[in-house]
Amino acid sequence: MPHKVSLSRLKLTDFRNYAAAALDLDGRHAVLTGDNGAGKTNLMEAVSLLSPGRGLRRAAYGDITRVGAAGGFSIFAALDGMEGEVEIGTGIETGEETTARRLRINGTQAKTADELTDHLRLLWLTPAMDGLFTGASSDRRRFLDRLVLSLDPAHGRRASDFERAMRSRNKLLDEGRFDPSWLAGIEEQMASLGIAMALARQEMLGLLTRLIEETRETSPFPSASLQLSGFMDGQFTRPSVDLEDEYAAMLSESRYRDAGAGRTLDGPHRADLIVHHREKAMEAERCSTGEQKALLVGLVLAHARLVGNLTGHAPILLLDEIAAHLDEGRRAALFDLIDGLGGQAFMTGTDRAMFSALGDRAQVFTVADGKIFE
Ligand SMILES: Nc1ncnc2c1ncn2[C@@H]1O[C@H](COP(=O)(O)OP(=O)(O)OP(=O)(O)O)[C@@H](O)[C@H]1O
Atom of ligand 1 minimally distant from the CA of 45: 18
| Confidence label for 95 from pLDDT (cuts 50, 70 and 90) | low
Q: How far is the CA of 373 from the centre of ligand 1 (A)?
A: 17
The CA distances from residue 333 to 132, 323, 357, 358, in Å, are 24, 11, 9, 10
Residue nearest to atom 26 of ligand 1 (CA): 36
Cβ < 6 Å from ligand 1: which residues? 16-17, 34, 36-42, 63, 65-67, 350
- Mean pLDDT score of the chain: 95
Give the mean model confidence (pLDDT) for residues 251-272.
97
Complex-level ipTM beyond the 0.90 threshold: yes
234: phi then psi, degrees, rounded to nearest 5 = 70, 15
Residue type, 30: A
Q: How far is the CA of 247 from the centre of ligand 1 (A)?
A: 45
Residue nearest to atom 27 of ligand 1 (CA): 36
Residue 4 has pLDDT above 90, yes or no: yes
| Confidence label for 106 from pLDDT (cuts 50, 70 and 90) | very high
Which residues lie below 8 Å from residue 161, measured CB to CB, with a gap of 6+? 189, 193
Atom of ligand 1 minimally distant from the CA of 35: 25
Q: What is the pLDDT of residue 173?
A: 97
Residue 275 has pLDDT above 70, yes or no: yes
Alpha carbon distance 98, 60 (integer Å):
8
Atom of ligand 1 minimally distant from the CA of 127: 27
Residue 21 has pLDDT above 80, yes or no: yes
The 10s digit of each residue's pLDDT in 140-171 is 999 999 999 999 999 999 999 999 999 999 99
Q: How far is the CA of 42 from the centre of ligand 1 (A)?
A: 6
Residue 372 has pLDDT above 90, yes or no: yes
Q: How far is the CA of 46 from the centre of ligand 1 (A)?
A: 12
Cβ(34)–Cβ(350) under 8 Å?
Answer: yes
* Among 17, 45, 318, residue to substitute to test ligand 1 (most atoms within 8 Å of Cβ): 17
Q: What is the pLDDT of residue 127?
A: 94
The CA distances from residue 245 to 7, 159, 298, 335, in Å, are 46, 19, 37, 48
DSSP 6-60: EEEEEEEEEETTEEEEEEE--SSEEEEE-STTSSHHHHHHHHHTTSSSSTTTT--
Q: Where are the domains of the chain?
A: 1-131+311-374
Q: How far is the CA of 76 from the centre of ligand 1 (A)?
A: 19
Atom of ligand 1 minimally distant from the CA of 350: 25
Strands 74-81 and 6-15, by their bridges, are: antiparallel
Give the mean model confidence (pLDDT) for residues 184-199.
98
The 10s digit of each residue's pLDDT in 37-84 is 999 999 999 999 999 999 999 999 999 999 999 999 999 999 999 999
* Among 18, 32, 36, 42, residue to substitute to test ligand 1 (most atoms within 8 Å of Cβ): 42
Question: Is the CATH number of domain 1-131+311-374 3.80.10.10?
Answer: no
Q: How far is the CA of 339 from the centre of ligand 1 (A)?
A: 28
Residue type, 215: T
| Confidence label for 216 from pLDDT (cuts 50, 70 and 90) | confident
Residue 190 has pLDDT above 70, yes or no: yes
